[in-house]
Amino acid sequence: MSVPTADPAVETRGLVKRFGDNTAVDGVDLSIPRGGIYGVLGPNGAGKTTVIRMLATLLRPDGGEARVLGHDVFAEPATIREKIALTGQFASLDEDLTGIENLVLLGRLLGFPGRTARRRGHELLEAFGLAEAAGRQVKKYSGGMRRRLDIAGSLLVTPELIFLDEPTTGIDPRSRNQVWDIIRTLVGAGTTVLLTTQYLEEADQLADRLAVIDHGRVIAEGTPGQLKAQVGSGALTVRVVEPADREQAAELLARTIEAEVTREPDPTALTARLNERSRAAAALSALEEAHIDVETFALGQPSLDEVFLALTGHRAEHEGEEDGAAADETDGGRDDQAEATIR
């Protein structure tokens, strides 16, 4: 008998799903280790949700193979359902019912006797800070509360693998941070998390590894660091004190780093993608020699946004609000970069 923990959490080969003429998932190969957070990143309509739905046994693949926690999705869907939990893209809750009723319903369906389901439901509501809203209909919950209840519904029993389909889409930043904390807590408890997101920052913040999906295909796979490394050395952001100096600064930069310089909407800001990091120092000296006062000179790893652009040739959707904190830890770039790009 094989040791069950030796199986990867998810393994797919050539996974295909068609809806009529549209091939939503077009030969996806994934190997997701147990433990940790695996991110599936892609724009709207890339096929992320379809992959999740096939792995959660809601949708039968049209081709290829998929094993979840060592079980075949075609042959053993019932066994898989005992070990997974799914939090769908739109809150997987009954809006007409109250918070506690939703949890009792799911608890009883999972096999708890009524009283135990109720006790467990209240425990979860308490832990998720929803105790006061226990008796309120879910349709009256805020987006963040709904999300937390939704995740609580997946934790009545602890799943070995939890699917979170766009867990923070449409919720405010504070709730988003709470959801991130909850996800990290889950991993700490030994659950494997498979999350989809169209937020580049989210993948960067949470995922240990990630697959970038576009048009139903995996176009890149690796750690966030590896993906960034594929794209180039990094991004340079410069802000001058006097807007009048910007044009001169742009010309100097373009000459010293030999790359295209973008004039940002902010009249003091310039950005450029560096091909070689070492040229940054030369650029800074050139600016100093020209007596241009520089407010910000920040060097960061490329954001996942740039990774996406480089890999697909088009920009990810919904990028605007996410640019800010996407800079990486190196070169002390995080704070400067964030400051430089928040407009």
Distance CA 152, CA 148 (A): 6
Q: What residues make contact with other proteins under the rule CB under 8 A?
A: 19, 53, 56-60, 78, 81-98, 101, 105-106, 108-113, 116, 123-124, 126-129, 137, 153, 155, 157-160, 173-174, 177-178, 181-182, 184-186, 188-191, 325
CA 41 to chain centre: 6
Of 155 and 227, the one with the shorter C-beta distance to other proteins is 155
Nearer to other proteins, 181 or 276 (CB): 181
**248, 328 Cβ separation under 8 angstroms:** no
Q: CA-to-CA distance for 206 and 204, rounded, in angstroms?
A: 6
Nearest approach in angstroms of CB 185 to other proteins is 4
Q: Please, what is the minimum distance in Å from the beta carbon of residue 59 to other proteins? A: 5
Buried b (16+ CB within 10 A) or exposed e, 3-37: eeeeeebbbbeebbbeeeeebbbbebebebebebb
Q: How far is the CB of 235 from other proteins (least distance, A)?
A: 21
For other proteins, the closer CB: 77 or 222: 77
- From the list 251, 197, 217, the residue with the least C-alpha distance to 24 is 217
- Cα–Cα distance between 177 and 324 in angstroms, integer? 15
Nearer to other proteins, 37 or 280 (CB): 37
Nearer to other proteins, 155 or 220 (CB): 155
Give the nearer residue to other proteins in terms of CB position, either 191 or 271: 191
| Shortest spacing between CB 93 and other proteins, in angstroms | 6
Nearer to other proteins, 118 or 277 (CB): 118
Check residue 73 and give left, alpha or beta (phi > 0: left; psi -120 to 50: alpha): alpha
Q: How far apart are alpha carbons 315 and 312 in whole angstroms?
A: 8
Strands (E), the chain: 10-19, 22-32, 37-41, 63-68, 71-72, 84-87, 161-165, 192-197, 209-214, 217-222, 234-240, 261-263, 269-274, 294-300
Q: What are phi and psi of 178, to 5 degrees?
A: -65, -45
CA 155 → CA 38, 127, 251, distances in Å? 19, 11, 57
10 Å CB burial of residue 282 (0-12, 13-18, 19+) is middle
- Please say which residue, 20 or 265, places its beta carbon nearer to other proteins: 20
Tell me the closest approach of the beta carbon of residue 151 to other proteins, in angstroms. Answer: 9
Kindly state the smallest distance separating residue 164's Cβ from other proteins, in Å: 12
Q: How far is the CB of 180 from other proteins (least distance, A)?
A: 8
> Closest separation between CB of residue 236 and other proteins, Å?
25
